[in-house]
Amino acid sequence: NAGVTQTPKFQVLKTGQSMTLQCAQDMNHNSMYWYRQDPGMGLRLIYYSASEGTTDKGEVPNGYNVSRLNKREFSLRLESAAPSQTSVYFCASEARVDSPLHFGNGTRLTVT
């Protein structure tokens, strides 16, 4: 009963490098989300996917791309990492619009 699983837990990148953050949920949820959390800023939505095959931009999408590979998986890609992308990233899923979000354990990313 894993819930929402994110990998990796920690990552250090150099400016300009690329990487993909992986997220998978085993609860058969339709909607999935990527948030970033910065001190004093709260959780800010990067991208979301309301259902398999659809993705939409959130509040802070610049510098990121996403893929909803199937119903279970929703990945976040940084094509050319920048120091401003240093943050803690959370993936979340929900069953329907009036149900709570289920969060993964987060990925702490540092870009030097």
Which residues contribute to the site for other proteins (CB under 8 A)?
31, 33, 35, 40-45, 48, 58-59, 90, 97-106
Query: Smallest distance from the beta carbon of 72 to other proteins, in angstroms?
Result: 18
Residue 110 CB: number of other CB atoms within 10 A?
13
Query: Smallest distance from the beta carbon of 62 to other proteins, in angstroms?
Result: 14
Indicate the residue among 14 and 96 with the shorter CB distance to other proteins: 96
Q: What are phi and psi of 84, to 5 degrees?
A: -65, -10
Token representation of residue 27:
């609860």
Cα distance between residue 8 and residue 27, in whole Å: 20
Query: Smallest distance from the beta carbon of 16 to other proteins, in angstroms?
Result: 29
Indicate the residue among 28 and 97 with the shorter CB distance to other proteins: 97
31 by DSSP, 3-state: which? strand
